Structure 1
Amino acid sequence: MTSTWDPGRYLAFAGERGRPFVDLVARIDATDPRIVVDLGCGPGNLTSLLADRWPAAAVTGVDSSADMVRAASDSPAAERVVFHRQDLRDWLREAEPGQVDVLVSNATLQWLPEHLELLPALAGAVAPGGWLAFQVPGNHLAPSHTLLAELAAEPPYDVHTAGAARVGAHDAATYLRALQALGCEVDAWETTYLHVLHGEDPVFTWVSGTGARPILHALPEDLRGRFEEVYKARLRAAYPDDGHGVVLPFRRIFVVARVP
């Protein structure tokens, strides 16, 4: 079943979600790129930061979600960024080799099980001396994800969620070695952010906008509400609020590579 993205829910914690993007872009040492592309641009709020960083560049945002591209095209960012809908893999197949000076992908590649095998194509789309930079979440072993997987595997949910998409990523060293093998100079690292979230069931709000989305959409309406209530209860136990907000540790993996 194909699930949709909710830009409003995704932006519920826009500041927290945006911080890794800012940290990633800060490590790109490009001075005057002509063409900058954001693969998996979402609602465009972060892509606009690329236009801020390199105002003379032609900046393009690409996303496979019609809802996200629509939100991006209706945002102020559209005054400086061209947004269009396309699957990342289709974009790679159609991209001319060596045409992009800065290629960014933020919290997108984890949705593609074969993304490690796509690294040669991603690097190949970058001009000699240009930059490939991406960030993926590395929190698949966190309670937010393990509790989700455990509940989804229980009846009566399991028959509906078995084929739902799951996020997955490699460690920083794996990406570093893969890109070094392509001749790139690579800076790879990881950071665990401690996000302090407020509101009712904030961890559920966070994950329902991203990692839990395919499973929730795979469930029929008569089961989804029950699933959500059980999942929320388990998340509250795993992430208690001590009166100062809920702490959500979130591991992120970063890679910045300069193409030879």
Structure 2
Amino acid sequence: MADWSPTAYLRYTDERSRPFGELVARVVRDPSSIVDLGSGPGHLTPVLRERWPAASFVGLDASPAMIERAREGDPQGRYELADVRDHAAGRGPAAEADLVISNATLQWVPGHRDLLPALAATARQTFAFSVPGNHDAPSHRTLREVAGREPYASVVGHVERRAVADPADYLEILAEPGWSVDAWETTYTHVLDGDDPVLRWISATGAQPVLHALDDHDAAHGTDLRARFDAELGADLREAYPRHPWGTPLAFRRVFVVATRTA
């Protein structure tokens, strides 16, 4: 997949940041070192610094564009290009830390549930993460439906349903002797402004693989599939998420886990 767009991702900064604040609030230990897996453009680093100002910090992300944006915005911070799977294997620029935390990243890692014990093992005190739990919401069902139509289906292929586990499933994976696990879910109802806000929301995240495939095809063949796809998807999303005088409500489910060492 082509690289991420920090500008598009940051369009709804406040809404995307709320789950991270809730996750951080449930961490009970005070770390002296922190690794943020999937730190993105660095917009959430101030949340960690405010809570633990004395802790050292490393932000890891697999997107060169995100790392570049983070370094530009926070030249005093440390941001490194790295893959979650390498971190789980003990490779990379930050092998372990007191707190290993991740926000809206693990759902992009194939087989992320199998990696969780190894990721937890890199945390000396706490392993905490949140993942979107909205992959069966109208936004993502509509995305898969439109991408399954021709002429798009021949270009993008099968659109994976990046389903995450329920809180109870993560609890079962991580509730080993020596660990205390707090797992829960929250559904936010964001009120989005402007035209086609749900299209803009998912275009910066869940729809990225589809949109990159269409962009590549247009560039190679001189077609306009991306514009046609945006028009069809936008129309269907407007029907699924009606606009009101006060904005467009978007229900967004998140799953959270905080695993703390007890021994």
* TM-score (norm: length of structure 1): 0.93
> How far apart are 1:242 and its partner, in Å?
1.4
> How far apart are 1:53 and its partner, in Å?
1.3
Match of 1:70 among 64, 68, 71: 68
1:18 alignment counterpart = 17
Counterpart residue type for residue 215 of structure 1:
V
Match of 1:82 among 71, 75, 78: 78
1:214 alignment counterpart = 209
1:113–1:168: 8 Å Cα contact kept in structure 2? no
- Structure 1 distance, partners of 2:8, 2:193, is 14
2:193 alignment counterpart = 198
2:47 alignment counterpart = 49
Match of 1:230 among 209, 229, 232: 232
Q: What does the per-residue CA deviation read over 1:134-155, in whole Å, with 9 as the maximum and x for residues that have no partner?
A: 0000001111000000111111
Map 1:36-185 to 2 at 5 A: 36-75=34-73, 77-79=74-76, 81-95=77-91, 99-127=96-124, 130-162=125-157, 166-181=161-176, 183-185=178-180
2:41–2:66: 8 Å Cα contact kept in structure 1? yes
Counterpart residue type for residue 193 of structure 1:
Y
> How far apart are 1:126 and its partner, in Å?
1.1
Change (3 A) 1:98 1:39: closer
Counterpart secondary structure, 2:163 = coil
With 49-58 and 248-257 compared, the bigger mean Cα shift is at 49-58
2:33–2:98: 8 Å Cα contact kept in structure 1? yes
- Structure 2 distance, partners of 1:182, 1:117, is 18
- Structure 1 distance, partners of 2:21, 2:190, is 15
With 83-92 and 225-234 compared, the bigger mean Cα shift is at 83-92
* Count of paired positions: 254
> How far apart are 1:191 and its partner, in Å?
0.4
2:20–2:130: 8 Å Cα contact kept in structure 1? yes
Q: What does the per-residue CA deviation read over 1:105-141, in whole Å, with 9 as the maximum and x for residues that have no partner?
A: 10000011311100111111011xx000000000011
- Structure 1 distance, partners of 2:134, 2:254, is 7
Counterpart secondary structure, 1:5 = coil
Counterpart residue type for residue 53 of structure 1:
R
- Structure 2 distance, partners of 1:179, 1:98, is 20
- Structure 2 distance, partners of 1:131, 1:16, is 25
- Structure 1 distance, partners of 2:186, 2:53, is 29
- Structure 2 gap segments, 5+ residues each: 219-223
- Structure 2 distance, partners of 1:69, 1:200, is 30
Counterpart secondary structure, 1:248 = strand
**CA RMSD between the two structures:** 1.6
